[in-house]
Structure 1
Amino acid sequence: MSDADLAANYEKAYGNRIGYGKSPALLMVDFVQAYFEPGNALFAGVDEALASALRIREAARSKNIPVILTGMVLHKSGKDGGRFFQKAKPLENFTAGNPMAGWPKGLEPREDEFIVTKQYPSAFFGTSLAPMLTSMGVDHVILTGLTTSGCVRASCVDSMSHGFITTVVREACGDRHSSPHEANLFDMNAKYADVVSEADILTHIMTF
């Protein structure tokens, strides 16, 4: 199948757009120091993704839209990370007390922002995120974070599965390589969420 035929096939099957909800929250997944530390196994060169997410954060705050940050914190043994910890060796960066699990410059949490600590890829799995959003009346998750092919994708699928309209912001997500980044944006847009530009989500946020 040619690229043109494949695009037409996907447009026919998955070209639907769900749009935005009435009550959004901004979810910033795993913007932690390990991804910004040269020489670290997780270094990803994703400064532009963080810069985009920070601009969206400021817009959201200006409209009193809730902001939720996530990070991984594991027991020093890693046993609470189960098979995920056994498989993915770089998760050693996220054991308790490791500075690589800390926030990068510019993303110091504010007092009125929420922090969700997780042990698995999805921000929703085994955490209180879904009931917290529901209790706040949120129907729409604006999703940013690292990495696109890992914790962003897992959080996207679970956000949709919990009944939230989900919007992934292209420029505010990042990965080590463009191939998994683009492939996962393509697939999330096809099946689980609308993938939009930073400019589009900023325009939407300013309508509130």
Structure 2
Amino acid sequence: MTDDLAENYKRAYSNRVGFGRNPALVLVDFAHAYFDPDCDLYAGVDDALASALRIRAAAREAGVPVVLTEVTYQEGGLNGGRFFEKAKPLANFVRGRKTAEFAAGLVPEPDEIVVSKQYPSAFFGTSLASTLTAAGVDNVILTGLTTSGCVRASCVDAMSHGFITTVVADACGDRHPAPHEANLFDMNAKYADVVSEAEILAFIAEIGATRTAGAPA
């Protein structure tokens, strides 16, 4: 055993899967709560949103499906079960509250899929896996908030549902660098390929060029 973390994990977890042929982009829980300094969920993750919006624009240009997730609860949080009971800040996502709305600059387009959820994973208790499968998607590209919470849960479930899973580090954020980096490290080791914004933009551009070349004249 080596004391160096990277070398230790590299001995067992150094595989890279790569990308698929038919990706979909998922923006996980970019809610106003994380950008409101007066909210207890404030995380100062403007850079992550800016990155995700650039990737979203590229995905739309290339014809890559875009999914936005939102957390939403009825008054009192009855439909949030034990998660709502444990994580008190989830009260910010009760339907009708400003903090539950999408962050500034992120307005769902008519052709984008909006998934409403009550638990961490974008897949748990939703139709997302079936929707993506029906669309022929083989690669889920994840961006969102927070890295250690809903992004990680969605990553594990995406992989478990059989999708090649890609996490864009620049387009994910957390309230502190330590859980952010630790969870990116762990997801990259076991469940997904963690890539940069530049890498995913190059891949999306390649997808777009391929589809344009294959389009009828």
The alpha-carbon deviation at position 3 of structure 1 amounts to 4.6
Identity level (%) = 67
Which residue in the other structure is 2:37 paired with?
A: 38
Deviations 1:149-184 (A, max 9, x none): 000000000000000000000000000000000000
Matches within 5 A, 1:50-199: 50-199=49-198
Classify the secondary structure of the residue corresponding to 1:9. helix
Runs of 5+ in structure 2 lacking a partner? 208-217
Distance in 2 separating the partners of 1:38 and 1:168: 26
Distance in 2 separating the partners of 1:96 and 1:43: 18
TM-score, normalised relative to structure 2 = 0.94
Deviates more, 1:103-112 or 1:56-65: 103-112
Classify the secondary structure of the residue corresponding to 1:7. helix
The alpha-carbon deviation at position 39 of structure 1 amounts to 1.5
The alpha-carbon deviation at position 61 of structure 1 amounts to 0.3
The question of 1:207 aligning with 2:206 is answered yes
The alpha-carbon deviation at position 112 of structure 1 amounts to 0.8
The alpha-carbon deviation at position 12 of structure 1 amounts to 1.3
TM-score, normalised relative to structure 1 = 0.98
Distance in 1 separating the partners of 2:187 and 2:166: 10
> Which structure 1 residue ranges, 4+ long, deviate > 6 Å from structure 2?
none
The alpha-carbon deviation at position 2 of structure 1 amounts to 5.8
Which residue in the other structure is 2:214 paired with?
A: none
Classify the secondary structure of the residue corresponding to 1:125. coil
Over aligned residue pairs, what C-alpha RMSD do you find?
Answer: 0.9
**Matched AA of 1:125:** F
Distance in 2 separating the partners of 1:31 and 1:185: 18
Distance in 2 separating the partners of 1:176 and 1:124: 23
Matches within 5 A, 1:8-47: 8-47=7-46
**Matched AA of 2:14:** G
Aligned residues: 207
**Matched AA of 1:101:** A
**Matched AA of 1:124:** F
Deviations 1:7-30 (A, max 9, x none): 212011000000000100000000
**Matched AA of 2:69:** T
